[in-house]
Structure 1
């Protein structure tokens, strides 16, 4: 059981790939780290693994099955299997929505009931914050809500793209511990992308440098 990229090439402008022939596996229940300089394709790989963008070549597999399409074009059996936690919670959330709405949105889309209060408590949000909107909370509080939203999706795999880069050390430690616990208790496979090699070495089963997982 794993999320895999196999010889993936991709980018934003045809003829100018930012990611070439990369293979990576995220086993269920493990935290895998990915490091590398800015501009080398880490975020491109994250978006391809999350089926937000399609690879130009190569493929993505979930638990041994090839995944085709992107976003809502992904087949129903794979939709929601991979969730992504972005670097900037303000860019990734609707400023008009309350934190409760942000957390509950994936379940609403899937037609599934969830306990928003329990998820909020798990990520360290107090009940009084749930009625607030993004501009009324800190970056750390909003990123906790974004994490709760990702968990509400009940993913098999979670991709964290520099998700702690904008947070202080205490909030970073809290969020990483939550992610570690979810991986251990629920068998979620996690990819942690970060420039902080010490952080990756401290919590990940294995850490890859992007240049080391390019084919040939």
Structure 2
């Protein structure tokens, strides 16, 4: 039997200096599935997200996408593979280049792979409307918009390549209730339309109960999640 498409961290070990943060951790996200990940602060949740997002190379274990092992990180990974995974972080201000307008922020991943400019403008306009960014906001830089407006732009950027897997690391924790609801609705609609796999990292038990198909616990060093 052919295995269903999935994003997999297999027996991943990560350390910072002498401190082992993740020790033999395994986590699988199937296409179309929402997985909740919870655990105490400092247990390695964000590190695991960065490994799955191909931003951090593990010292041990491996990441694979739909059965294809990924041997590198960032731009060392072929475009057609690395663009299948996207991440939305907790702090939009830490994730956004303060020199860019919101339009340019959304467009940045497309321009990085030399997408023709007419296609860039079309995709940016489509996503800005999807996430609720009005024309008067799109030309502003991060300092001139709220955290919620900036996170909407970051969500649009995360979706720009139509990823198969979206990783949300406390992505709604800093938002007001109405923006939280809107961001969650956009992600759920995208997931249904694209049959995307979604990882939700949060301390919000209500959100996990409402959204996740299953919840896994990461308890810290020497833990394994299956």
TM-score using structure 2 length: 0.91
Q: CA deviation at 1:12?
A: 2.1
Does the aligned pair in 1 maintain the 2:54–2:82 contact within 8 Å?
no
Query: Partners in 2 of 1:196 and 1:19 — Cα distance?
Result: 22
Unaligned runs of 5+ in 2: none
**Residue in structure 2 matching 1:61, options 48, 53, 64:** 64
Moved over 4 A (4+): none
Aligned to 1:10: 14
Query: Partners in 1 of 2:149 and 2:27 — Cα distance?
Result: 31
Query: Partners in 1 of 2:191 and 2:213 — Cα distance?
Result: 11
Moved more, 186-195 or 204-213: 204-213
Does the aligned pair in 2 maintain the 1:34–1:207 contact within 8 Å?
yes
**Residue in structure 2 matching 1:96, options 85, 99, 111:** 99
Query: Partners in 2 of 1:143 and 1:132 — Cα distance?
Result: 14
Query: Partners in 2 of 1:41 and 1:96 — Cα distance?
Result: 31
Deviations 1:159-185 (A, max 9, x none): 111111111111111111111111111
Matches within 5 A, 1:64-213: 64-112=67-115, 113-114=119-120, 115-211=123-219
Does the aligned pair in 2 maintain the 1:8–1:22 contact within 8 Å?
yes
Question: SS of the residue aligned with 2:107?
Answer: helix
Q: CA deviation at 1:10?
A: 0.5
Q: CA deviation at 1:5?
A: 0.7
Does the aligned pair in 2 maintain the 1:68–1:75 contact within 8 Å?
no
Query: Partners in 2 of 1:127 and 1:101 — Cα distance?
Result: 13
Q: CA deviation at 1:81?
A: 1.4
Unaligned runs of 5+ in 1: none
Does the aligned pair in 1 maintain the 2:34–2:211 contact within 8 Å?
yes
Q: CA deviation at 1:215?
A: 6.3
Deviations 1:166-215 (A, max 9, x none): 11111111111111111111111111101112101101111111139616
1:210 to 1:146, Cα distance in 2 relative to 1, 3 A? same
